[in-house]
A and B are shown apart, each in its own frame.
Chain A
Amino acid sequence: MKPTKISELRDQLRSLRKQELEIEAQILALEAEEPSAAKKTGEKLSNEEIRRYSRQLLIPEVGTEGQLKLRNSSVLVVGTGGLGSPCALYLAAMGVGRLGLVDHDVVDKSNLHRQVLHTEASCGVSKILSAVTSISRLSSLCETRVYDMLLDSSNARDIISGYDIVVDATDNAATRYLINDACVLSGIPLVSGSAVRLDGQLTVYNHNGGPCYRCLFPTPPAPDATANCSETGVLGVVPGVIGCLQAMEVVKLVTGRKVNEDPSLLLFSYRSQPHFRTVKLRARKPTCAVCGDEPTVTKLIDYVAFCGAGPNDDAPQWKLLEDPAHRISCEKYREIQNLSDTGVGGKHLLLDVRDEVQFTICQLPHSVNIPIDQFDSRRKELEEAVKALDGAPVYAVCRRGNLSQMAVQYIRDQLGYEQCFDIAGGLVAWQREVDAEFPAY
């Protein structure tokens, strides 16, 4: 009897959690029609606030005065992902009076290992709704304002005006330059964090004579030179560490305790000992295009054009193979697979060209793994495998159908083997088009 009761109760909880999101959505919709409340002022903490923040009030670096400053402050967090989740949670918990949140995305299961604002219940709903639900559960004293949209040149100035501090918790170069320029033009300090794989970085820009993002990086990186979380992965806790430190920097800025610090870049790494280091940064650059003495950027520009890449961390879709006859659809490959499984024909080699780490996560039956960057060093092996086919085809597959096109080019051009095709869209397309159960990642 007991297990049934437990699963009944669990079902009940799941449905309550869905209901909670629905109620929060209704509140958000009603609030959107109301004019927003005036910024909090006032020179006294309420008894409730004293009880709630007592452990923080005991710290001289905060004290009653600092706590009041936090209560009367407004902070905008752009991005509610791996960095923004812990940052927004701690800002709300520590007593920031008004918190603005910007995100355009929807919660996906692959977010949950690091984006701790979001839950299983909120998969499929907007990150903004999910974030507000978590924050309202934590604190009724924190007033949230939400912007369920992509920050761009047309809205950024309007959104950030009225906030004391902006937190950059985004995931791409174009939005980082946009936020930087908007903060410089509006005279707002910027707490910028980033994290990929096992490394994180943190800097406060546009504050106290220090540099802005453009002073450090006047030229955007080449689009293919930037690593993002969906492609290269990230250890869940790494953005967590940086997001928490971003919240700490906000506290220092709000309470006026970040005045005698030289501008610095903090580096965090899972690997290095010690895990944390800071390097001293340059001051504001008089020649900077946006914060310099004679700025050339005096209003927001087209950041997608400037960076040559858009504001998302989706993988690009390459088109290397010009002849469509050199590619087959996932559906078509399934037919070939069926033929070969039933022994009727369909002899072929399925060549998976992803790296070993990815190959171990999941793979199609009978696939042979030779990573694309080992083609040169394992050329002999590759040649023998192709030779053994006696003219039967090679089908190259990878995660999204990009590297597999390079593989086809290599086998056609370098090995001179014409019976070589790419499975268009890779394993991600395979899951979408053929096998919904396949664990594409």
Chain B
Amino acid sequence: MHKVSVTLKFVSGAELLIKDEFRAQSSKKSGDLEFKHEVPAGTENAPLRMKELIENVRDNLVKGDKDQFYKDGKLRPGILVIINGSDWEVEDGPEYKVQADDVIEFISTLHGG
């Protein structure tokens, strides 16, 4: 099956949601958790959308309770999704059409002070 490669980043604590084996393959030695990830490309009639990418991340990369991460279109509260440097709501949110080489970030909000 045809695949597209995107760059995934998990920062500000979101990296703790990811399975250890993927954390080990980070391309950044000491920095953010960042790695390339391949997902099945969509078709012309059914292009790969952000929600399917998140389901793929949930099913393959996330550890622990998967429903807590993403279920019925609802992402875990306190997580922001950033597509190529912009809040995904600036794009089309879950309906955004994923392109090859997109950089998708998951940022956990911090509360401490």
Does any Cβ of A come within 8 Å of B99's Cβ? Answer: no
Asked, given contacts A279-B105, A280-B86, A282-B90, whether A239 binds B113 with beta carbons under 8 Å apart, the answer is yes
Return chain A residues, CB-CB under 8 Å to B86. Answer: 279-280
Q: Contact: A193 with B31, CB < 8 Å? A: no
Tally of A-B Cβ pairs under 8 angstroms? 108
Residues of A214-247 at the interface with B, using a CB-CB cut-off of 8 Å, are 216-222, 225-229, 232, 234, 239
Q: Contact: A217 with B78, CB < 8 Å? A: yes
Q: Contact: B12 with A281, CB < 8 Å? A: no
Does any Cβ of A come within 8 Å of B85's Cβ? Answer: yes
Q: How far is the CA of A200 from the CA of B13 in the complex (A)?
A: 11
Asked, given contacts A226-B111, A227-B110, A313-B112, whether A280 binds B85 with beta carbons under 8 Å apart, the answer is yes
Q: Contact: B31 with A271, CB < 8 Å? A: yes
Q: How far is the CA of A232 from the CA of B76 in the complex (A)?
A: 21
Chain A count of residues within 8 A CB distance of the other chain? 46
Asked, given contacts A195-B112, A200-B110, whether A267 binds B11 with beta carbons under 8 Å apart, the answer is yes
Encode contact with A along B76-113: 1 for CB under 8 Å, 0 otherwise.
11101010011101100000000000000101011111
Kindly provide the distance from the CB of B107 to the nearest chain A CB, expressed in whole angstroms. Answer: 7
Return chain B residues, CB-CB under 8 Å to A217. Answer: 77-78, 109
Kindly provide the distance from the CB of A76 to the nearest chain B CB, expressed in whole angstroms. Answer: 15
Kindly provide the distance from the CB of A343 to the nearest chain B CB, expressed in whole angstroms. Answer: 44
Does any Cβ of A come within 8 Å of B32's Cβ? Answer: yes
Which listed residue (B32, B82, B105, B109) contacts A221, Cβ 8 A?
A: B109
Kindly provide the distance from the CB of B27 to the nearest chain A CB, expressed in whole angstroms. Answer: 12
- B residues in contact (CB < 8 Å) with A: 11-13, 28, 30-32, 68, 74, 76-78, 80, 82, 85-87, 89-90, 105, 107, 109-113
Offer 14 A-B interface pairs, CB within 8 angstroms, sorted by A. Answer: A79-B113, A84-B113, A169-B113, A194-B109, A216-B87, A217-B78, A219-B74, A219-B77, A228-B111, A239-B112, A269-B11, A271-B31, A279-B105, A281-B87
- A residues in contact (CB < 8 Å) with B: 79, 81-84, 169-173, 176, 193-197, 199-201, 216-222, 225-229, 232, 234, 239, 265, 267, 269, 271-273, 279-282, 285, 313
